[in-house]
């Protein structure tokens, strides 16, 4: 079989078309006027900003948040291993240097994009914040 139906199994719906139709329907339900988005009330709709600069900054913030979360987890694991005596003095020194360099690089990247380390701490609503507050390590 060749053409647009090549590779599809018989009787299986086109999932991409279904997703596109669902997305188109959802966008038709959103208010078209920006003032509608600012209307007070429990059913106010907020639109996603599609400004390229804010999208890039948001993506950088998300990626840096994930990297910071992993950095903190690695740091805790390293401290646990040091407390357990699993590492040689040389390994401890190398691990400490690496974690300090990673922290410094994170601070540089935040500065490059006009973010602070506090900006990376996502609010998870009733669960609290993603990262522990500074000084609660």
In whole angstroms, give the CA distance from residue 98 to residue 65.
19
38-89: per-residue pLDDT in tens? 555 555 555 665 677 778 888 888 899 898 888 888 888 988 999 999 889 9
- Write down how long the chain is: 137
Burial 90-114 (b: 16+ CB within 10 A, else e): eeeeebeeebeebeeebeeebeeee
In whole angstroms, give the CA distance from residue 103 to residue 89.
21
76-99: per-residue pLDDT in tens? 898 899 999 988 999 999 989 999
Report the predicted TM-score, pTM, of the whole model to 2 decimal places: 0.55
Beta bridge partners of residue 129, listed in sequence order:
123
CA dihedral 89→91→94→95, nearest 10 degrees, is -110
């Amino acid at each position: 079989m060749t053409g647009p139906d090549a590779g599809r199994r018989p009787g299986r719906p086109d999932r991409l078309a279904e997703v596109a139709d669902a997305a188109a329907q959802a966008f038709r339900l959103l208010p078209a006027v920006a003032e509608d988005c600012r209307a007070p009330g429990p059913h106010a709709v907020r639109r996603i900003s599609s400004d390229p600069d804010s999208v890039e900054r948001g993506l950088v913030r998300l990626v840096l948040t994930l990297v910071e979360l992993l950095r903190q987890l690695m740091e805790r694991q390293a401290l646990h291993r040091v407390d357990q005596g699993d590492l040689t003095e040389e390994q401890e020194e190398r691990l400490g240097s690496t974690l300090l360099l990673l922290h410094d690089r994170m601070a540089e990247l935040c500065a490059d994009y006009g973010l602070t380390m506090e900006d990376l701490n996502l609010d998870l609503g009733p669960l609290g914040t993603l990262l522990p507050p500074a000084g609660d390590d």
